[in-house]
């Protein structure tokens, strides 16, 4: 197995991060429409897997597909143009960030939660027939493990021993719902219960992800079937840009008052649940905001900072690398 090149992994992670910083700016400036789900916080998981893919390997992505696209080698200019809705974007402005398609890279995303499961299986099936030794990777969140087609896909992959790696990026949230509140079992248990080898890995440790993913990829390439990686990571920018939950945590004085009025009326009006239950409702909401705040732009859980820390020994090289990445992305921004 090839050793992880931490410098290269960091470079790819940083490329994604700096690219998404541009995206955030442009979105805030109103240049990008609709929802914008960033992958900030997932870079180590994505890099650890994607950076060891080969020509002919395929990628099935969810609504946070940008980092994987960037690291897979899709031209960032095309991506940014797509987000900006240009006719010469990656998808001619037809898709946007939730519907990214690069045939050349066999990479496709979907805005439907869970759809990357069946897509990964289909890509793997095609690999088995047409490109032996090639694999497919499906990325998705822990919330997607409650979606029927994802569960079906796991069984199908295992029953057919297909070369697909399921990578669950567990940020503990499904939009505003702590996934644990609506999920009756641990993620590994359900993958195993459907016949998959399931391995847990620290999603902020890119070398650990690389090494576990490397084994899974190797098994798949050898025809030894699918695997399931469960990687913990943080959601550093909320569910999407402008997430009210996050805004409420960041600037409570500005964001909470307009919400508070109706809530207080809901607490006070006659007819409804008992007061105790209503107070619990309020406290539930506050704890959701509070908990979401905990990881918001958390530096402890930022894979970029964590990885950077390991490279600080060679400060000069680090500076050069970071300057190079920032230069590349400035160029991207200019050309988009």
Partner 1 sequence: MRKMSFAEAIEDALCQAMREDSRIVILGEDVHAIRRNLYVRFGEKRVRATPISESAFAGAGVAAAMAGLRPVIDLYMVDFLGVAMDAVLNHAAKVASFSAGHWSAPLVIRAGCGGGYGDGGQHEQSLWGWLAHIPGLTVLVPSTPADAGGLMLAALEHDGPVIYLEHKLLADYWLEFLGSGGRKTVSYDIPPQGARGAVPDKWEAVPIGKAAIRREGEDLTMVSVGASVHRCLEAAKALEPQGVSVEVIDLRTVSPLDTEMILDSLRKTRRLLVVDEDYQGFGLSGELAAVALEAGIVVKYGRVCTEGTIPYAREKEDETLPNVGRIVRKGEEMVREA
Ligand X SMILES: Cc1ncc(C[n+]2csc(CCOP(=O)(O)OP(=O)(O)O)c2C)c(N)n1
Alpha-carbon distance of 307 to 207, in angstroms, equals: 9
Q: What sign does the CA torsion over 247, 253, 254, 259 have?
A: positive
User: How many chain residues are in contact with partner 1, going by CB under 8 A?
Assistant: 93
Annotate each residue in 48-67 with x if it binds ligand X (CB under 6 A) or - if it does not, as one string: ---------------xx---
The one among 120, 141, 226, 238 contacting ligand X by CB under 6 A: 141
2: tokens are 């090839």
Q: Which of 162, 161, 170, 155 is nearest to 135 (CA)?
A: 162
Alpha carbon of residue 295 to chain centroid: 15
User: How many chain residues are in contact with ligand X, going by CB under 6 A?
Assistant: 16
Q: Does 113 bind ligand X (CB under 6 A)?
A: yes
The one among 282, 306, 311, 318 contacting partner 1 by CB under 8 A: 282
Q: Does 173 bind ligand X (CB under 6 A)?
A: yes
The one among 4, 18, 68, 115 contacting partner 1 by CB under 8 A: 115
CB of 209 closer than 8 Å to CB of 231 = yes
Q: Does 203 bind Mg ion (CB under 5 A)?
A: no
Q: Does 141 bind Mg ion (CB under 5 A)?
A: yes
> Three-class SS of residue 47?
helix
State which residue, 58 or 196, has the beta carbon closest to its own copies. 196
DSSP state of 105: G
For residue 233, give every residue at least 6 positions away whose Cβ sits within 8 Å of its Cβ, in sequence order, or none: 41, 42, 44, 45, 169, 170, 171, 203, 204, 301, 303
Annotate each residue in 90-109 with x if it binds partner 1 (CB under 8 A) or - if it does not, as one string: -xxxxxx-xx-x-x--x-x-
- Footprint of Mg ion on this chain (CB under 5 A)? 141-143, 171, 173
- Footprint of ligand X on this chain (CB under 6 A)? 63-64, 111-113, 140-144, 171, 173-175, 179, 239
């Amino acid at each position: 197995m090839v050793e992880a090149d931490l410098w290269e992994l960091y470079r790819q992670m940083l490329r994604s991060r700096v690219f998404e910083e541009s995206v955030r700016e442009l979105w805030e400036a109103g240049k990008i429409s609709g929802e914008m789900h960033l992958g900030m916080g997932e870079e180590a998981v994505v890099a650890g897997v994607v950076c060891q893919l080969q020509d002919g390997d395929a990628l099935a992505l969810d609504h946070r597909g940008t980092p994987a696209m960037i690291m897979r080698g899709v031209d960032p200019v095309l991506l940014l143009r797509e987000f900006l809705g240009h006719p010469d974007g990656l998808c001619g402005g037809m898709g946007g960030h939730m519907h990214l398609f690069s045939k050349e890279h066999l990479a496709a995303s979907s805005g439907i939660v869970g759809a990357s499961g069946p897509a990964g299986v289909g890509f793997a099936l095609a690999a088995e027939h047409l490109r032996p030794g090639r694999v497919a990777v499906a990325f998705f969140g822990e919330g997607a493990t409650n979606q029927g087609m994802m569960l079906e896909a796991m069984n199908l992959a295992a029953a057919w021993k297909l070369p697909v790696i399921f990578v669950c990026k567990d940020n503990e949230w499904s939009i505003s719902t702590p996934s644990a509140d609506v999920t009756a079992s641990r993620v590994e248990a359900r993958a195993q219960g459907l016949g998959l080898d399931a391995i847990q890995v620290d999603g902020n440790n890119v070398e650990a992800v690389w090494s576990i993913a490397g084994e899974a990829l190797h098994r798949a390439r050898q025809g030894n079937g699918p695997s399931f990686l469960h990687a913990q990571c943080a959601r550093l920018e909320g569910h999407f840009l402008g997430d009210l939950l996050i805004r409420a945590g960041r600037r409570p004085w500005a964001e909470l008052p307009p919400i508070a009025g109706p809530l207080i009326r809901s607490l006070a009006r006659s007819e409804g649940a008992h007061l105790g239950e209503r107070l619990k409702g309020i406290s539930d909401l506050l704890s959701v905001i509070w908990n979401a705040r905990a990881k918001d732009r958390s530096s402890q859980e930022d894979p970029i900072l964590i990885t950077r820390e390991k490279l600080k020994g060679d400060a000069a090289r680090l500076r050069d690398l970071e300057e190079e990445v920032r230069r590349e992305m400035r160029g991207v921004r200019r050309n988009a």
